[in-house]
Amino acid sequence: MANKRSPVNIFWFRRDLRLTDNAGLYHALKQGLPVIPLFIFDTHILDKLPDKNDARVTFIHHALAEMNEELTRFSSSLCVKYGKPEEVWQELTAEFDIREVIANTDYEPYATEREDKVRKVLGKNKIPLTTYKDQVIFEKDEVVKDDGKPYTVFTPYKRKWLATLNPELHLKAYPVTKYAKNFYAHTSWELPSLKQIGFEKSDLELPGKTYRDVIEDYHRTRDFPSVEGTSRIGAHLRFGTLSIRKVTLDAWEAREKTWLNELVWRDFYAMILWHFPETATAAFRKNFDNIRWRNHEAEFEAWCEGKTGYPLVDAGMRQLNETGWMHNRIRMVTASFLAKHLLIDWRWGEAYFARRLIDYDMASNVGGWQWAAGSGNDAVPYFRVFNPQLQQERFDPEMKYIRRWVPEFHDPFKYPKPIVDHREARERVLKEFKRAFAG
């Protein structure tokens, strides 16, 4: 073990919980000083989680345990702290002779704010904090319009993204193990249990890491919620337990490119949130802020519980509540139903998804919600109101998905009548949207 006062670098894990192909970790180890691998259970985040069996916390804990196991190969272990990051860093600067802190960039507004605070603490001790791109293929201003402004429409963004991509350069793996001998030698740090950080193990099944088997057929199967036609790797991309470079390389090398398109959407929404952080809570199209949302609490509750009387909407909400995941087609249908049929503020729905989705990602969730509500930068036109009945006929024609999640849908004694009439709801929302846009 290195002497406590001999110089070290620290690599701070956040949304990059893996030891392979990790940009920042590679650069940290390559420098030569012993590198302490650090993770902080951030109480600013944990204290706000209402469910003590939150599956995301179980997911992270599981990923940390796996990394710890792998680190024993290099006679090292994770240093895991619990608390407010700015205070934890204060303690770490007193405990170790830190020469540099290295991390991968986290683009969310809270992460940026947190980093600013930590930079101040480190700055007082003259310790630099260096960050690397790892979470996306292209970040910030790497894919922008010819005039240097950010794209706000997906299709031209995608065209430029594809034209900019050099797979040998942008998708190349970082060979972390080449310098693994530089991990700080220390095997006795303990990973706190879930209970020690105030949580319980979630009962939800955590998603697997396989995705290759869906790529070739994705364009045919992706819209049918009863088919296992999508990868379900969102949580692994969210927490970095899979490398976005490796996943994108596999998508790039496949014959069928529809799935690659989805990964570009992910970069697109991350870029939008970075350039327009205010859209996390405000409509991208400003005139949407004039809408008088009805915000009917009992109707919102019925939507959350999957009791709207629209079987496809209810199936989606029950799938979300019971598994922590919902199929993309049904995310669109349920989101549109809340914002348009019920005229409930899209932010209520966004917050509910944020609480329930294991793959919750602020950029994609806000992007998806604003798209469905019509307030987004490249959204579905405001006057297009998904008809849940027609959506069911097209995408769940044999009602397999509905039968799975709402088995009582045909029983008038057990299943509620529709909470709103489709035609009336459509007229109501169009009237309100027109009023809001005229004012």
Which residues are part of the catalytic machinery? Answer: 262, 265, 293, 328, 346, 369
Tokens of 99: 């020469």
Does the annotation flag 218 for ligand binding? Answer: yes
Q: How far is the CB of 25 from ligand FAD (least distance, A)?
A: 21
Closest CA to 408 of 303, 319, 314: 314
Does the annotation flag 262 for ligand binding? Answer: yes
Q: How far is the CB of 91 from ligand FAD (least distance, A)?
A: 33
Does the annotation flag 269 for ligand binding? Answer: yes
Does the annotation flag 237 for ligand binding? Answer: no
Does the annotation flag 129 for ligand binding? Answer: no
Closest CA to 361 of 281, 283, 284, 266: 266
Give, in order, the Cα–Cα distances in Å from 338 to each of 220, 311, 327, 435. 28, 14, 16, 19
Q: Which is closer to ligand FAD, CB of 224 or CB of 433?
A: 224
Q: Which is closer to ligand FAD, CB of 191 or CB of 227?
A: 227
Does the annotation flag 259 for ligand binding? Answer: yes
> How many CA atoms lie within 13 Å of 262's alpha carbon, on the beta-carbon side?
20
Name the percent of the chain in helix, strand, coil, to the closest 5. Answer: 50, 10, 40
79-83 sheet: strands from edge to edge: 79-83, 35-42, 7-13, 97-104, 129-132
Q: How far is the CB of 222 from ligand FAD (least distance, A)?
A: 6
Q: Which is closer to ligand FAD, CB of 372 or CB of 385?
A: 372
Does the annotation flag 41 for ligand binding? Answer: no
The identity of residue 321, as a single letter, is N
Q: Where are the beta strands (DSSP E) in 47-108?
A: 79-83, 97-104
Q: How far is the CB of 386 from ligand FAD (least distance, A)?
A: 11
Neighbours of 128 (CB within 10 A): 12
Q: How far is the CB of 272 from ligand FAD (least distance, A)?
A: 10
Q: Which is closer to ligand FAD, CB of 14 or CB of 232?
A: 232
Residue of minimal Cβ distance to ligand FAD: 368
Contacts of 434 (CB under 8 A, 6+ apart): none
User: CA-to-CA distance for 327 and 225, rounded, in angstroms?
Assistant: 6
Q: Which is closer to ligand FAD, CB of 226 or CB of 231?
A: 231
Binding site residues, ligand FAD, CB under 6 A? 222, 230-234, 237, 262-263, 265-266, 269, 328, 331-332, 335, 353, 357, 359-361, 364-365, 368-369, 372
Tokens of 76: 């090292």
Binding-site sequence positions for FAD: 218, 259, 262-269, 359-361
Binding-site sequence positions: 218, 259, 262-269, 359-361
